[in-house]
Structure 1
Amino acid sequence: MRVVLQRVKRASVSVDQQTVGKIDQGYLLLVGFAPADGQKEIDYLVHKISNLRIFSDDEGKLNFDIHQIGGQILSVSQFTLYAALRKGNRPGFSLAQDPAVAKINYQKFNQALRAEKITVAEGIFGADMQVSLVNDGPVTLIYDTEHML
């Protein structure tokens, strides 16, 4: 499972020129799944993300987590995080999880974040989406459970 996390001042996602999800301060998450990913990977990353301390305290140190600043999450599915890029000039997507399974895992991931008492807005799985954000810092982190578990 891969998640690109960006600390944002605000973010939104639109489909067909209609806003389907938006947040103020918090995280924009781009979320992708590999074929073998399941509940173990979801639980691990929900724990890591919900406890991540990348918001500044009064001294400017990165000591606060998303709960402490009343932050929100915008979660956007992105199978292209598993693009195969070694051969040719056109990406292949055989390394991404089957869409039917990935959709279920994406929903489980977002529900698990909500269970941590975090407000989570979403894109629409499988849709052509336009994402807008104001990156704060910028702070961008990449989680990949292949290298963590």
Structure 2
Amino acid sequence: MRALIQRVSDASVTVDGRVTGKIGPGLLVLVCAMQGDDVQAAEKLAARVAKLRIFRDENDKMNRSLLDTGGAALVVSQFTLAADTRSGNRPGFSTAAAPEQGERLYLHFAQSLRSMGIAVETGEFGADMQVALTNSGPVTIWMDTADRA
């Protein structure tokens, strides 16, 4: 699975004029399931995101995690993280998981964060969403479960 993680002061996602998720300080996590991903990949990614030390400590060092700070997570599905831009001008998305599997893993990822005691809000899978955020820092991190054993 792939994720683009942004440390935020606040973030929200809106679908058809209706706010489906809104958080204060925490992480905006754009997530994409890839072909071959399974629930273990979703759980592995959730654990890495929850423990990622990108929040400031008392010495102003990025040394605290979402678990340490008690912050929230706004989890938004984004299949475009699977974009293949190696040839031509139009990205290909054939490496993304099929929609049914993608939705299942997206929801499992969000539930895995919740099971660690993190407050989680979500977007709406497959919808045209408007995401608003205030990136704190700015801090933006890319993760891919295929990058680590």
Q: Distance in 2 between matches of 1:118 and 1:30?
A: 16
Residues 1:12 and 2:30 aligned together: no
Q: Which residue of 1 aligns with 2:129?
A: 129
Corresponding residue for 2:31? 31
Name the SS of the counterpart of 2:67 in structure 1.
coil
Amino acid at match of 2:40: K
- The normalised TM-score by structure 2 is 0.96
| Match in the other structure for 1:140 | 140
Q: Which amino acid aligns with 1:2?
A: R
Runs of at least 5 residues in structure 2 that lack an aligned partner in the other structure: none
Q: Deviations over 1:26-70 (max 9, x none)?
A: 000000011100122112111111111111111101122112222
1:121 to partner: Cα distance: 0.2
Matched positions, count: 149
Percent identical pairs in the alignment equals 46
> Which residue of structure 1 lines up, in the alignment, with residue 80 of structure 2?
80
Aligned counterparts of 1:33 and 1:96: Cα–Cα separation in 2: 6
- Whether contact under 8 Å (2:7, 2:28) holds in the other structure is yes
Deviation at 1:87, TM superposition (A): 2.2
State the AA in 2 paired with 1:135: N
The alignment's TM-score, normalised by the length of structure 1, stands at: 0.96
Deviation track 1:91-143 (CA, whole Å, cap 9, x = no partner) reads 22111100011101111111111000000000000000000000000111000
Distance 1:65 1:85 in 2: 32
Secondary structure of 1:68's partner? helix
Check whether the contact 2:14–2:131 (CA below 8 A) recurs between aligned residues.
yes
Name 2:115's counterpart in structure 1. 115
| Residue 56 (structure 1) aligned with residue 56 (structure 2) | yes
Moved runs in structure 1, 4+ residues, more than 4 A? none
Q: Which amino acid aligns with 1:74?
A: L
Please name the residue that 2:96 is paired with: 96
Q: Secondary structure at the match of 2:88?
A: coil
